[in-house]
């Protein structure tokens, strides 16, 4: 009886110890580096945010049945353009020094370009990964030489290359949206606001 009581008395302590060990064993998520408040990285992150919200809003506005539309044979479809942007975000991050996530498969992403939900999620995930890559760069390394699709450049110089890529494919995506009868959401908002203004 005494042994049973002692074992019972020890049970809460053992459970507490087990729970504590389990909590300690869990890996804490790595804290993201703080966002810069000035300088080239802050300016570039603002640029990335601008393109991110436009890509995602436009991708979300286009009906799922239009994701396979393409302007001609051998040209990327609506969904393929967005997936191209998503895959490029991972490749640009790698170019800047951040490895792609484990299990990343660019070909599989492109293969699912006709599925709207997967495309929109892939865009969100890729921009989050790319932003993390920018945050991991040290300001002191901005002039570091790296290899880009256009040849040797600095990290700072690569920011211009990437902005150009965003602009090229956002323009393409807007043209595609217009062709399938979709007005870009930000344009629609502006038109509505102008229509609601009191006339002089």
Q: For 141-153, what is each residue's pLDDT tens digit?
A: 999 999 999 999 9
List the structure tokens of 83.
């997936």
CA–chain centroid gap for 107, Å, is 17
Strand residues in the chain grouped as ranges (E): 145-148, 151-154
Domains along the chain with CATH numbers: 35-184 (1.20.120.450)
Q: Sign of the CA dihedral 141, 143, 149, 58?
A: positive
Is residue 54 within 8 Å of 46, Cβ to Cβ?
no
Closest CA to 96 of 130, 140, 124, 123: 130
Task: Give the tens place of pLDDT for each residue, 101-158.
Answer: 999 999 999 999 999 999 999 999 999 999 999 999 999 999 999 999 999 999 999 9
Query: Minimal CA–CA distance to 96: which of 51, 135, 59, 55?
Result: 135
pLDDT of the residue at 193: 87
């Amino acid at each position: 009886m005494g042994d049973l009581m002692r074992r019972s008395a020890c049970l809460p302590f053992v459970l507490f110890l087990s729970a504590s060990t389990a909590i300690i064993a869990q890996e804490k998520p790595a804290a993201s580096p703080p966002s810069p408040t000035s300088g080239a990285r802050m300016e570039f992150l603002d640029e990335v945010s601008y393109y991110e919200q436009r890509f995602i809003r436009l991708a979300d506005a286009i009906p799922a049945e239009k994701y396979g539309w393409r302007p001609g044979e051998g040209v990327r479809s609506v969904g393929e353009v967005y997936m191209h942007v998503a895959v490029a975000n991972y490749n640009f991050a790698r170019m800047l020094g951040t490895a792609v996530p484990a299990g990343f498969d660019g070909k599989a992403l492109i293969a699912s370009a006709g599925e709207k939900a997967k495309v929109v999620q892939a865009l969100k995930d890729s921009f989050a990964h790319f932003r993390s890559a920018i945050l991991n760069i040290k300001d002191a390394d901005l002039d570091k030489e790296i290899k880009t699709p256009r040849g040797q450049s600095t990290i700072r110089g690569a920011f211009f290359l990437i902005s150009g890529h965003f602009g090229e494919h956002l323009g393409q995506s807007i043209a595609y949206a217009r062709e399938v009868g979709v007005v870009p959401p930000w344009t629609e908002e502006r038109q509505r606001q102008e229509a609601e203004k009191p006339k002089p």
